[in-house]
Amino acid sequence: MADLKNVTDASFEQDVLKADKPVLVDFWAEWCGPCRALAPVLEELAEENSDKIEVVKVNVDENPGTAAKFGITSIPAVYGFKDGEHVASSIGAKPKPALEQEFADLLK
């Protein structure tokens, strides 16, 4: 399985907003059960679509600035970014087909 890159408040702009390709950002926390359930699904998406997108993780407890900037109030929250813009969101643990549908524009 793909190990997802951990992004911090300090590296968010470089790793996500200035990325060469679309990025899915998994906002999560260590104590969040649904977040842990979602992790293997995101790793699978990352592996199968590595040519099209990058999937990264932001721990909201360790990086409250980024979480606050994007109004994260419920986790897991997966946000899609393209060309520095937040273009799609998915809140809660969902099966892979649901995520593929919600982020279809980024997976083309």
Class at the top of the CATH hierarchy for domain 5-101: alpha beta
CA quadruple 11, 13, 17, 18: dihedral, nearest 10 = -80
Residues carrying an active site annotation: 32, 35
pLDDT in tens, 47-92: 999 999 999 999 999 999 999 999 999 999 999 999 999 999 999 9
With contact defined as beta carbons under 8 Å apart, do 25 and 73 qualify? Answer: no
Nearest CA to 56 out of 28, 31, 36, 34 is that of 28
Per-residue pLDDT at 108: 87
Give the whole-angstrom CA distance, residue 105 versus residue 22.
10
Share of the chain above pLDDT 90, in %: 96
pLDDT of residue 35: 97
**pTM of the full predicted structure?**
0.96
pLDDT band of residue 20 (cuts 50, 70, 90) is: very high
Asked whether 9 and 17 are in contact (CB, 8 A), the reply is: no
Q: Where are the domains of the chain?
A: 5-101
